[in-house]
Amino acid sequence: MEIKKKTYVEDVERGIYDVKNEDRFEFKTEKGLTREIVETISKEKNEPEWMKNFRLKSLDVYNKIKLPTWGPSLDELDMDNIVTYVRPKTKLNETWEDVPEDIKKTFDLLGIPEAEKKSLAGVGAQYDSEVVYHSIREDLVKQGVVYTDMETAVRDYEDIVKEYFMKCVTPNDHKFAALHGAVWSGGSFVYVPKGIHVDIPLQSYFRLNSPGAGQFEHTLIIVEEGASLHFIEGCSAPKYNVTNLHAGCVELFVKEDATLRYSTIENWSKNMLNLNTKRAFVEKNGRIEWISGSFGSRISMLYPMSVLKGEGARAEFTGVSFAGKGQNLDTGAKVIHAAPNTSSTINSKSISKNGGEATYRGVVKVNANAYNSKSVVSCESLMLDNLSKSDTIPVIDLMNDEVEISHEAKIGKISDDAIFYLMSRGITEEEAKSMIVRGFVEPISKELPLEYAVEMNNLIKLELEGSIG
């Protein structure tokens, strides 16, 4: 009898996500991080003096703060070999036809224009350090909704930007927030006026093409009293043999009785260090909903935070991460209950295979004045083999006794009995394992818009290929 050997594919071909364009650019800074480079970025963007000064102060803070001593080691990060600003060979375009052919083809393959036609109220597309395309439905403009790139916002909505920019996440928060403040570029600005409901999502997609570069987009969203919005963020990059860095920043301001849903699929390549910072301030009876999928990247450190500032404010976080060989995904969520009668729910799932490391790191803090607060935390980890690692590191900090708090964590492997049962029904071992994994992440995928749920399922299929069978 012939014995068939199992085959193992070292690194899965990621199809459209690994499409590389020639590294063509209009302008690129030197490698490294100096005062001259920061001043050059500000000059290239023709920024007001206050923004240049903000960048330089952030650089000073960056140079004083040390790397974090917890979490994955970041010793491999060498800022002397990172290019912090790459301007592609195009301007900001308002029609898709005007985008250069090679850039347009990349986004076409990713399905961005098609998604816009079918189900989106507005789209922004960033390539390397600059937004190359932006559009918004005319009826939203007439209602006073603003959706544009951050560079335009700094010029055209300077008073609003100056009031909110890096007030939610400050340069003093940690080293990479300071780095972001110094070299940020691109990103999205959204302003939804009082009482306006944006019933169709807005979407921004960030694509990093240049090898050895960093992407530092800034997203600033303000949802005024009684308004609502669903914002979708997508990220991807092709694989290179040099380190790329992502240190973006997301600041969300959810006012009284407002609702914001923020959905993300981050599909970085395995040479990426993903050190992103996301935070929301939520006022009285406001609601923030985070939907998060973390795939790709060699190292991720990402912990979206909700600060419940007003009485009755609510936060929900639903997230999934997938760590394969050579990956260390350290992710989770933070909630600060800073007012009475606030509530939060955290539902986190992780999958690890082929020696990947998946860690849930979370914080729930209830301040002394936050009476009658409630929080429910659930963490589930699925390991696909005996090489992988999964940890749950929760912090629960209660400053008063009138609270309801629960935390549940489950860590386990795929059930051999479940696989045997499915195979006894004529299903292959590979498909049986895939079915179990898809069922495990189904609570997350059902919360995503359709095209992103399909993308996440396709990513899971890609990650499982070559490791099963």
Domain identity same for 419 and 289: no
Domain-ending residue, one of 302, 330, 356: 302
> Does 229 lie in the same domain as 80?
yes
Tell whether 281 is covered by a domain. yes
Q: Which helix (H) or strand (E) holds 436?
A: helix 429-445
Concatenating the DSSP letter of every residue in 120-156 gives -SEEEEEETTEEEEEEE-HHHHHTT-EEEEHHHHHHH
36 and 177 in a common domain:
yes
pTM: 0.87
Question: Residue 435's domain spans which residues?
Answer: 415-469
320 domain residue, yes or no: no
Choose one of 241, 276, 302: the last residue of a domain.
302
In a domain, 348, yes or no: no
Among residues 302, 325, 345, the one where a domain terminates is 302
Residue 70: exposure state from Cβ atoms within 10 A (0-12, 13-18, ≥19): exposed
CB 339 within 8 A of CB 372: no
The CB density around residue 95, as the number of other CB atoms within 10 Å, is: 8
In a domain, 329, yes or no: no
Per-residue pLDDT tens digits of the chain, which is 469 residues long: 333 333 333 444 444 444 444 444 456 788 999 999 999 999 998 999 999 999 999 999 999 999 998 999 998 899 999 888 887 655 555 565 666 665 556 556 555 556 655 555 666 666 666 666 667 778 888 999 999 989 999 999 999 999 999 999 999 999 999 999 999 998 899 999 999 999 888 888 766 666 667 789 999 999 999 999 999 887 665 555 567 888 999 999 999 999 999 998 887 778 889 999 999 999 999 999 999 888 778 999 999 999 999 999 999 999 989 898 889 999 999 999 999 999 999 999 998 988 999 999 999 999 999 999 999 999 999 988 889 999 999 999 999 999 999 999 888 888 788 888 889 989 888 888 878 888 888 877 777 766 666 666 766 676 666 443 3
Tally the domains of the chain: 2
